[in-house]
Structure 1
């Protein structure tokens, strides 16, 4: 059963901290432990989704523009936000991180990784800067018919926070068809497992970036994960990605 909480569409604007606090983080952590992903229903309201998606054509909000086909990443395009981030995205990045850092630290302990994530996102960004990672990584993705995102991992330097969040800004069945979020997991000496995550407009999915621990008969072992988006069959799809480490 997925760990989800529905925020009503008529909900007044509230702070990122308060809306993030409204989820059952014990259940979300259990979902991440079991499947490598968990859904946060209704993280953004419809008008907030539209507000973010409308930013895409305006270059002043972004530091770079990537056309996926030029790099073999798939088809479609995305833009990385520049600092300062839009208030809503920056607020969610700061509010989500402390909740997810609890899971991330537990994962590292289980995998025998000697790295502890600080409780505050600002402190983690200080570590990124010390490692030469100073460029913001939250991004806005845009797909049209025939576009897709190949399976990949968002690693931008020596430091990589092990969980990230993607928020769907378009409504499936109305704004687009196809374009499902896909997560694959490769366990040692086993075939890959695929997880297709159904989302509605405003829903977010938190998911493992690279590795996560799995309990085996001889203790914990690491599995390798990749994520992507299946082919969009009609319409247009926008997503905002919230990545917690910065890039070189």
Structure 2
């Protein structure tokens, strides 16, 4: 029998050690490239989302959450209650993005573009996505979508985020990512990440996605293909956050299209 491979925890520890050796941003790109992208694609195809555990370290999560208090890094701040979005607030980063966030956005885009192109083919949608994120952003910017969309979200006790879709313009990349920067049960209680799926002529299906600090969830922005008895059909998805019962919660959102 072939020797057993390293246990998942040991493999993750080795990846994080290697990442520290070459620097956080460059190491994170290598880490992302080494993920099981076939397994991630399978989860996305089956459920509309996939969880990647422990993508960021506790120190990286704390450093990113601390950016919220540096207003010079952001182009705008949104108080959700003022717009009927829920309760809590978030801030959109300005360009240039912090190096770790820029590296993560670039590294995730390439493998996700392959999945996105397959989804659009199955759903008979005409748009295809270039392999390099810079080329896709050039397409967005030429159409007037020039404002960066990565964001930090901040919740306190009683806050929540209504179900929504992050569209922002005509050019929409069909997948996005979210990383939990706080530890459930220690930093906060409640505040679960929630997805709903609206199927044609059927009631909505709800999925509560369990996340720990440093975990990333990749999910469909607005719709995904599903195999039915009469072929492929589209289901619409929305996402949100349930009410925070105690504590404070920070989240990093990675959206690949820019806003108009």
Q: How would you bin the TM-score normalised by the shorter chain?
A: over 0.9
- Segments of structure 1 that go 5 or more residues without pairing to the other structure are none
Contact 1:8/1:42 (8 A) holds in 2: no
Give the total of aligned pairs. 244
Question: For 2:146 and 2:52, how far apart are their aligned partners in 1?
Answer: 28
TM-score, normalised to structure 2, is 0.92
**1:71-97 superposed Cα distances (whole Å, 9 cap, x missing partner):** 000000000000000000000000000
Tell me what 2:5 maps to: none
Of 100, 115, 136, 2:112 maps to: 100
Tell me what 1:8 maps to: 13
- Matched residue SS, 1:101: helix
1:130 matched to 2:135? The reply is no
**Counterpart mapping for 1:183-194 below 5 A:** 183-194=195-206
Q: CA RMSD in A?
A: 1.1
**Counterpart mapping for 1:1-248 below 5 A:** 7-8=12-13, 11=17, 12-13=19-20, 14=24, 15-248=27-260
Question: For 1:26 and 1:59, how far apart are their aligned partners in 2?
Answer: 39
Question: For 1:176 and 1:222, how far apart are their aligned partners in 2?
Answer: 35
Larger radius of gyration: 2
Higher helix fraction (1 or 2): 2
Question: For 2:220 and 2:159, how far apart are their aligned partners in 1?
Answer: 23
**1:160-203 superposed Cα distances (whole Å, 9 cap, x missing partner):** 10000000000000000000000000000000001111011000
- Structure 1 position 21, deviation (Å): 1.6
- Structure 1 position 144, deviation (Å): 0.3
- Structure 1 position 16, deviation (Å): 2.5
Question: For 1:218 and 1:131, how far apart are their aligned partners in 2?
Answer: 36
Contact 1:36/1:212 (8 A) holds in 2: yes
TM-score, normalised to structure 1, is 0.96
Question: For 1:77 and 1:172, how far apart are their aligned partners in 2?
Answer: 19
Question: For 1:19 and 1:172, how far apart are their aligned partners in 2?
Answer: 24
- Structure 1 position 23, deviation (Å): 1.2
